[in-house]
Every structure is written in C-alpha cells, then in structure tokens.
A and B are shown apart, each in its own frame.
Chain A
Amino acid sequence: MNFEWTDEQVMLRESIGRFAAEHYLPGGRRSLVAQGAAGSRMRWKMMAEFGWLALALPDARGGLGGTSVDVMAFMEVFGRHLMLEPYVSSCIFAPPLLALGSNGTVGPVLEAISTGDVQVSPALAEPGSGFNLNRVATSAARVDGVFRISGTKSYAKNGAEADWFIVPVRTAGAVDERAGISLFLVPHDAPGLRRCGFRSIDHHRHASLQFDAVAVGTDALLGPLDGGLPLLEAAVDRAIAAHLAEAVGSMEMLRDTTLAYLKSRRQFGVTIGSFQALQHRMVDIAIACEEARSMTYHATLQLTADLVGRRRAVSAAKVRIGQNGLFVGRESVQLHGGVGTSDELLVSHHLKRLMMIDLAYGNADYHRGLFADSV
C-alpha cells in the first residue's frame, strides 16, 4: 500500500497549477465566464498543446496512456482552480468508448480529442430517466443497415458546443431492461437532431437534444449492438472518479480559503478564528476534506477491481463526496459571513460547482441505493 504521488504526477500537478494561475486567476471569475464558449475553446487548445487532453487516451491511439491515478492527480488541481473546460466529458468519459468504435469513422474523432479539435458530450439523461442509466426510451429502428434514432435526451453534459454526442439508444427490449441498449456516436449536425443549449449555475454549458429519425450507420456503433450498458457503466465510473478528484480539489481550496479568512478577519477586536464555535466548524470542514480525499483514493484504485468491488467503492465515494462537498461548500459560505454570499468571491462559485458535481452521474441518494443493492 502506498499513497504517494510519483515524480511525474507531481510535475503534472505543478504544470496544470501554473496554467490555472496564469489563465484563471487574473481578472476574476466574472470576466472569465464572460468570455463564454470562445474563451473556453481558446484555453482548450492551449491545454491540447500541453498534451493534457491526451492524458487518458491509450498509447496505441496517440495518447499518453495515463492511469486513473494520473487522472486523479490532474483533476484535483483542475478542481482546485475551478477550471471550466469539459475535460471529464471529452477526455475521460468518451475515449474508452470511442476506442471500441470502427476505426474509419470513430478513430479520427478519438484522435481529434487529443488535438483539441473536437469535444464529445455524454447525452445520457432523458425526461423521466432520473439517474438510471438503463432507463432508455430513446429508440432506433433499423432499416437496411441504417438506424433511425428518435427520442429526447434532456441533459447532454457539456453539450452546448460539443461536436459529437455519445448516445445510449434502445435497440431492443423494454424501457428499463439492461439488455438492448446500444451506444452511438452522433455528430451535432446530423439531420433531424435539434440542440437547445443551456448553462448550469457553475457556468458549465450543456444542451438538451431532440432526435427525430436521426440516421446513423453501424459504423457509428460503439461496442456491441444491444450490449452497450456495461461499457457505459464502466465509462461513467471512470468519469465519476475524475469528478471525485475534482471535488476534492475544490473542497480543499474552500478549506484553505476559509481557514485563511478565519485567521485574518477581525470582529470584536480579535480574529474570528479565535472563537471556539468557529474553530470546531472549521475542524469539521477539514475532516470532511480528509475523508473525501481518502475515499477518492480508494475509489480510484478500485476502478479495476471486480464489478461489485468497483460498484461499492465508486458509489460509496460518490455518496460521501457529494455529502461532504455540499457540507464544505455551505459551511465555507457561512464562515465567510455576508461576503460568502457574493458572486464576486470564489467561495460561492465552489459551492455551486460542488452542487453540480453531486448531481453528476447520480447524486448521493441515488448512489447510496446502488451501494445498498450491490452486496
């Protein structure tokens, strides 16, 4: 057992930290988000030049073949600086699924991720699906080797400007069945596909999608026909692990910021950190962070375990990081007092991001259910 970063991981963390300091801090949060999609694409291309977008891509496909621990090392710093780019969707979730696709159609998309030329969005949720990955009503009729997809995906994560969508489609079976789900790669400009963009409170940019007999060929299929769900679940778990590390970074930034505030803010003639009531709340924040870090390590290192081991470790961590993230976010706002509620300070932005990370791929209650069912 060993919980140390390697020298390479330390260097990776330092370089992404320097990048964030250069491109995220100056000008403040509000000017950053005002740059919108254009600013994000610009930073995305710079990230490609550093090679970061290829971190989790397999060696054989022009990637760096980074491990899940490398991803964790990277994502912590990403979260600490509240970086906005759709890294998890495009660079963690998508690549292993794209690697299953036909080389002719899908291969170039995979390679274009690493150069920053394309972004890929998971279009999983539907109206009424909740967080269930197996509840897929969007369906495809197969006529002469062409699949015609119809249905609604209500939440394509980071999909507002994505070039491609990974879409689970029911090609057989009833709406809740685990079997009968196929994964397709669909371009954003496919005829019959309508996209409505929206943003969430954390300034991430998403979309809802309406499929009206959108035609795709078998070359758009990722993984086996009717057998996409286990592959999707594995990709989702890797994405969850990356978001856990992102949350840890965000929580620890809140911890450090709040602690510094307690040591500097003066009321009643003393620093407010001298009050025991606040000290104890601060300690609970620190414990929540340590617990989150420990569980993130554990979940990340169990990604390659057997199915039950992976399910329990990932869902347990998702539950607790969701709960602890919200706790740390809300407490940090409280300990900052009035200024904690302002839009100008980063504190509230971290809270909002942590709310959305709890939501990502199923919130704490949902994953507690998965955990309870996986004995």
Chain B
Amino acid sequence: MNLDLDETERAFRDEVRSFFAIRVPGAWRDRVRAGIRLEPTDYITYQKCLAARGWGAPTWPLEFGGTGWTPTQLFIFESEASLADAPGLFHQGLELIGPIIFTYGSAEQKAKYLPRIISADDWWCQGYSEPGAGSDLASLRTRAIRDGDYYVITGQKMWTSYAHVASHMFVLARTSVEKRKQSGISLLLIDMATPGITVRPIDSLDERHHVNEVFLDEVRVPVGNLVGWSYGKALLDRERGVTAANALRLAQQLRAVREAAGRARHGGRPLIEEPAFRAKLAQLEIETLGVEAMVMRVMTQSSSGAESGLSASMIKLRWSELLQRATELWVEVLGYEAAVFRALDHGDVSFPADMPHAMHGALYSRVTSIYGGSNEIQRNIVARRWLGL
C-alpha cells in the first residue's frame, strides 16, 4: 500500500502541470470555482484545445481516439486540472453517449460519431427524462415506430441540458410495448436538425438557461441510428470517472470560500480569523479530503480488479452534499454582498467580487443531488447492489 508515483507518473504529472500553466481565463475561473458550467462556446474552445494536445478523451481507450491513460494518470490529470482552476470536460458526449457507442455501436456509428465528439464538432444532449418519467425512467412514453428504413419518434423530453445548442441528441424511446415496462426501450441517435423537433427553454432557479423541454413530433430517424444498447442492459460502469472528476473539483469551491473569507470583514477583522467560521470551513475541507481519499481508492480499484464496497454512488452522494454546503458557505461569507444579484435599468451598480456567480453556484448546486439519479435513488442502488437489501 502506498501513495507513490513512479518515475513515468511523475513525468506525466509535470507534463500535465505545464499544460495547465497556461492561464485559465478569469471569466472561466469564476464559473469553475462556483461549480457552474461554462458557456457552450467556451466549452468548445477548451475541448478543441485538449483535443489538439491529444487529450480530448481522457477516459477512452486508444483505439477510439482516447488517451488510454491508467487510472493513476487520470487521477493526476484531474487533480492538476482542479489545481489550475481548469473546467471539467463537458460530459454528455464524452462520458455518456461516447462510451455507449464505442462499446455497443456499429462500425458506422463509431466512425461517424466518435471523432466528432473528441473534436467538439458535435454537441450531444441526453433525451432521457420525461414529464412522467424522472427517477422512474422506465415509465417513459416517447415512442419510436418502425416505418420502412426509419423510426418515427413522437414524445416529449424534459430537463434536457443544452438541447438549445446541441447538434445531436441520444434518446430513449419505446420501440415495442411489453409486459415489463423496463423492456422494449431502445436508444436512438437523432440529428437535431431533423424536422419535427421543438426545443423550449425551462427557466431554472438560478435564472439561467441550461435546461429545456424537447418536443418530438413524428421525427424520422434512419434505422441505422438505433444503438444495440437498451435500458434493460446493465449500466456501463462509467460513472466512476465522472464522479471522481467532479469530486476532485471540490477543492476549487473551497479555495473560493477561503479567499472570500479573507476579504470579508467581521467586526473589524477578517472573517477567516473568526473561530466559528474557521471550524465550519475546516469541517468542509476535512470532509473534502475524505472524498478525495475515496476517489483515490475507487480509481485504483478499477485497475486492480479488486472490488470493495466502495462505489461511485457513494462518491456522488458525498460530492453533491459537499458541493451544496461549500457553495452555501460562500454565499454566507459574502454577507450583504450576496444581495447584489443583477443591475436594474436605472442602476449603475458595481458588482462585488464574487457576484453573481457565487449565488448562481449555490442555486445550481441544488440540482446535483437530483440529476444523474437523485441521491435517494443512489441510496437505493447502494442498498440493492452493495448491501443486498
């Protein structure tokens, strides 16, 4: 048992560190620290920059254009990115549909879609949730009816992140009606330019636009766009990478809180010197170290093949809880400054250093315990899969 990096790994760390020494733009940094996403155009810029370096798909195997990195290399990469306040990679193409395509897709699908995910020429969005199908995804009602060489898809998707900028959507739809509601669900790849798709924004609590309703009205999709993966199949064990990468970002939020507390005054002295505040911040920092230590274990676990009871669901639970607490603490540190959210027409207000992104972060963080399987669903998963309850 050891935490050591070998010579190759140390050289790799230096290489990654010098890559990230290129300063991350200030506007990105503010968002990254708040735990909120970049503007899509910025994501595309960043992704192209990584792709040019050969690092466009850190978790993918070499044969599909990935890096083929070991879990330790991946850990090093994510840790260094976190340290440099670099953004996370946009995951819906890279982590959600990409791995499904390279695992279950046809040769044509692989050739057509995978390179364009890495190069950020395509932007994928995920069409899973529906008005009546959230945690209970299997009750989805969107239908894909075979008509010659096409599937004709009709239905409504909900909470679709970035559908308004996406070029493609991967959709779960019912291709047959069967007794078990988990059966008969297929995965289809849709070009967003296909006639019959309407995207309508949903305003979220942070007053930003990331999610949408997507209406599918007799959208005709070639049968070749069906992927040989369905809802009933075992989920790919890919969550580890995403959750681990997210969890390593908590240090970014905590740095923001620490800096803000160095500026904030509490009765004449910096808030950071206030014992009650110090205890609160230290508690969060300690729990974050705990998540990082869990990440180290879960990442090396996947290489050694040995399984403990430690799962990605557990890390997702801990990460989302801590992200919420960290961003809440940030807003708390700002005091009255947290009230300065948006200028009015007649106002020439100067914004405090951390506003409005700290407020955006605190509000946006609420979704992290809901998306990707709510924390209650994650607990169900752990209870069933790991504890046998």
Give residues in A with beta carbon < 8 Å to B: 1-6, 69, 259, 262-263, 273-274, 276, 279-280, 282-284, 286-287, 289-291, 293-295, 297-298, 301-302, 312-313, 316, 319-320, 365, 368-369, 371-372
Contacts and interface: CB of A to CB of B under 8 A. Distances in A.
B219 to A, nearest CB: 38
Nearest to A69: B1
A1 B376 CA distance: 32
Given A280-B379, A371-B285, A295 B293 contact: yes
B380 A297 contact: no
Interface string B368-383: 0000000010011011
Contacts of B289: 295, 298, 312-313, 316
Given A4-B304, A372-B282, A291 B290 contact: yes
Contact of B286 (A274, A284, A371): A371
Q: Is chain B's interface secondary structure helix, strand, loop, or mixed overall?
A: helix
B160 to A, nearest CB: 29
A368 B283 contact: yes
Residue from B75, B290, B300, B380 having most chain A Cβ neighbours under 10 A: B290
B290 A316 contact: yes
B314 A319 contact: no
B383 A2 contact: no
B386 A1 contact: no
A1 B5 contact: yes
Contacts of B281: 372
B278 interface: yes
B306 A287 contact: no
A365 B283 CA distance: 9
Contacts of A259: 387-389
Contact of B389 (A1, A279, A313, A371): A279
A368 B282 contact: yes
Contacts of B7: none
B296 A3 contact: yes
25 contacts: A1-B5, A4-B306, A259-B387, A259-B388, A263-B388, A263-B389, A274-B389, A279-B380, A282-B387, A283-B383, A283-B387, A286-B309, A290-B294, A290-B308, A291-B291, A294-B293, A294-B294, A297-B297, A298-B3, A298-B289, A298-B296, A319-B283, A368-B279, A369-B282, A372-B282
A369 B279 contact: yes
Contacts of B278: 369, 372
A1 B4 contact: yes
A278 to B, nearest CB: 8
A286 B382 CA distance: 9
Contacts of B287: 320
Given A263-B388, A263-B389, A291 B294 contact: yes
B296 A287 contact: no
A279 B293 contact: no
Nearest to B300: A1
Nearest to A372: B282
Most chain B CB atoms below 10 A, which of A4, A259, A276, A290: A290
Given A1-B300, A291-B293, A301-B3, 10 more contacts: A3-B1, A3-B297, A69-B1, A259-B388, A279-B380, A280-B383, A290-B294, A291-B291, A293-B308, A316-B289
B383 A290 contact: no
B314 A287 contact: yes
